[in-house]
């Protein structure tokens, strides 16, 4: 049987492809575990500078595999299931000290949309279909969606998306700021790979710090954030990449960053 997650390394880019296309890449426990492990390995491997998350087949991800046994069993603690599964994944994606690019074609429904929103830079096909499908099955948006949505699109749109569960296209998602960019479906993977290639050439330590400091801003006052920026910049100011970046600028040549 085919692996539920395909893992490939292309130059500095670790490509992770959800591979349960017959279920629109809905996550069962095996896919949860495989992606968690792949993210841990990507984080630990210096050869990996960027992660690209994609889905095989006609959709990105339809969220939780609703055919998994026991989900609606009253004895099952869905909160604990979330904690061990989706919540751990969102934490791993946000905590990974490397950029994660996401390419969405077809559906990104329920927690499948949440995962796409938790990535650092999300591209989608113009005709992709994002939906906060949770309400249709009697749940709230989860896997971080109630935190991400208002921050990305503002409270009014977040409420409408969450409460109505309507499907919006990739083009609409981009125009309301839910994702970075929508592109023609035929060029989605090429565009995503080009973003990854660019990130792979940029200074790794500064990219990791950018991700961490932007996330910290969500809970900080301006004063706290200014102090954090100063602290992080103090460290980066002593890095080889900063010296190289400034030297390259002065010598009017492209910079060759090494990473940490």
- E strands, the chain, are 5-10, 13-18, 50-55, 100-104, 107-109, 121-125, 129-131, 167-169, 181-183
Please state, in angstroms and rounded to a whole number, the distance separating the CA atoms of residues 192 and 183: 10
Rounded to a whole number of angstroms, the minimum distance from the CB of residue 78 to ligand T3D is 5
**Identity of the residue, 110 or 203, whose beta carbon is nearer to ligand T3D in the bound complex:** 110
Please state, in angstroms and rounded to a whole number, the distance separating the CA atoms of residues 228 and 84: 31
Angle 163-59-173 from CA coordinates, rounded to 5°: 45
Please state, in angstroms and rounded to a whole number, the distance separating the CA atoms of residues 194 and 190: 6
Rounded to a whole number of angstroms, the minimum distance from the CB of residue 58 to ligand T3D is 8
Rounded to a whole number of angstroms, the minimum distance from the CB of residue 115 to ligand T3D is 9
**Identity of the residue, 32 or 239, whose beta carbon is nearer to ligand T3D in the bound complex:** 32
Among 29, 30, 66, 246, binds ligand T3D (CB under 6 A): 66
Q: Which residues pair with 108 in a beta bridge?
A: 61, 130
Query: Does residue 139 interact with ligand T3D by CB under 6 A?
Result: yes
Query: Does residue 214 interact with ligand T3D by CB under 6 A?
Result: no
Rounded to a whole number of angstroms, the minimum distance from the CB of residue 80 to ligand T3D is 9
Among 120, 142, 205, 241, binds ligand T3D (CB under 6 A): 142
Please state, in angstroms and rounded to a whole number, the distance separating the CA atoms of residues 126 and 248: 38
Among 12, 55, 110, 170, binds ligand T3D (CB under 6 A): 110
Query: Does residue 26 interact with ligand T3D by CB under 6 A?
Result: yes
Cβ(17)–Cβ(52) under 8 Å?
no
Among 60, 130, 134, 257, binds ligand T3D (CB under 6 A): 134
Query: Does residue 227 interact with ligand T3D by CB under 6 A?
Result: no
Rounded to a whole number of angstroms, the minimum distance from the CB of residue 149 to ligand T3D is 14
Phi, psi of 101 (to 5 degrees): -100, 140
CA dihedral 54, 34, 57, 82 (to 10 degrees): -80
Among 6, 81, 88, 208, binds ligand T3D (CB under 6 A): 81
Binding site residues, ligand T3D, CB under 6 A? 23-24, 26, 62-67, 71, 78, 81-82, 85-86, 107, 109-111, 133-134, 137, 139, 142
């Amino acid at each position: 049987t085919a692996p539920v997650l395909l893992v490939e390394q292309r130059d500095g880019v670790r490509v992770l492809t959800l591979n349960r296309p017959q279920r629109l890449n809905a996550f069962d426990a095996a896919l949860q575990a495989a992606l968690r492990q792949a993210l841990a390995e990507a984080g630990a491997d210096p050869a990996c500078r960027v992660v690209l998350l994609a889905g095989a087949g006609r959709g990105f991800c339809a969220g939780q595999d609703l055919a998994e046994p026991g989900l609606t069993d009253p004895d099952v603690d869905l909160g604990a299931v979330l904690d061990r599964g989706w919540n751990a994944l969102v934490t791993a994606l946000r905590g990974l000290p490397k950029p994660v690019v996401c390419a969405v074609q077809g559906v990104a429904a329920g927690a499948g949309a949440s995962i796409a929103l938790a990535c650092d830079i999300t591209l989608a096909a113009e005709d992709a279909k994002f939906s906060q499908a949770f309400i249709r099955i009697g749940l709230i948006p989860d896997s971080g969606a109630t935190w991400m949505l208002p921050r990305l699109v503002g409270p009014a749109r977040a409420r409408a998306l969450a409460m109505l569960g309507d499907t919006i296209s990739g083009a609409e998602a981009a125009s309301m700021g839910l994702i970075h960019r929508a592109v023609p479906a035929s060029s989605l993977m090429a565009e995503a790979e080009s973003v990854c290639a660019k990130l792979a050439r940029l200074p790794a330590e500064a990219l990791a710090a950018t991700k961490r400091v932007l996330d910290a801003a969500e809970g900080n006052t301006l004063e706290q954030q200014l102090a954090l920026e100063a602290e992080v910049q103090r460290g980066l100011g002593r890095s080889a990449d900063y010296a190289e970046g400034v030297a390259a600028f002065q010598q009017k040549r492209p910079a060759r960053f090494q990473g940490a």
